[in-house]
Amino acid sequence: MTKEELLQRYAAGERDFTDINLAGANLSGIDLRDAKLLGANLNSADLSGANLSSTDLRFADLVDANLSGANLFDADLSTAFLYTANLSGVNLKNAYLRGAYLSGADLSGADLSDASLSEADLSCVTVDGTRLGGLALSGVNLSSVNLINADLSGANLSGAILERVDLSEVDLSGFDLSGANLSGASLYEANLSKANLNKANLSSARLNRADLSHANLSNADLSSADLSSADLSGTDLSYANLRGAYLVGVDLRSAKQLGTDLRGSYS
């Protein structure tokens, strides 16, 4: 199907374009709101500035597609393939992205407020200025992402996959990171005061000079983590694993240490 035929059929009232093949097509600025594009092949297509609000893009192939500035408000992109797609400045508010594959995509300046990202793969994405506030990110894969300039206000990071992320100097005070996987993450000088890190995996994480005062680190894995000069005043370290942790310059006197494993730690 050509772009012209698609537009003619859409103008005539047709909305079901399941399995359409427009790979590499120039669809910049196109208006396909409410269309059904289930399983569509839009690989490498130019959809910049397109209006795709409330579209059904489940299982669609959008690998390497240019969606910069597109409107995907309330769109269903569950299990869609968006590897290395350009999603900069995209409106994804209220979008459904359950199980979507976004690894390597550019989400700079995108708005994902109130989007559903359950089980989505966002590993290695670019999120400079991206709005992730208020999202439930449990089970979402954000490994190897630089989150320094992302808007995480109000996000629930409980159970999130945050391996090797960069959260240096980020204010995460009071955040729920319980059960999150932060192994190898950089949290240098991060503010984690009063954060809930119960059962979090922080093995080999860089937490030097971080503020962990009054944080809940009970049952957390901090093995081989660098906590040098971190503030652990009033921190709950009950049954935490700090084997091989680097604790130079750390004062643990006011920390709760019931069952804490400090074997092999350096202080």
pLDDT tens by residue, 182-233: 999 999 999 999 999 999 999 999 999 999 999 999 999 999 999 999 999 9
| CA dist., res. 207 & res. 139, Å (int) | 23
Task: Report pLDDT for 237.
Answer: 98
CB-CB contact of 20 with 37 (8 Å): yes
To the nearest 10°, report the CA torsion of 177, 182, 267, 191. Answer: -50
| CA dist., res. 122 & res. 125, Å (int) | 6
Task: Report pLDDT for 132.
Answer: 86
Task: Report pLDDT for 133.
Answer: 77
Task: Report pLDDT for 116.
Answer: 92
Identify the segments of the chain with pLDDT beneath 70: none
pTM: 0.86
Length of the chain: 267
Task: Report pLDDT for 158.
Answer: 93
**Nearest of 167, 243, 181, 244 to residue 211 by alpha carbon:** 167
**Nearest of 76, 89, 1, 79 to residue 35 by alpha carbon:** 76
Task: Report pLDDT for 70.
Answer: 98
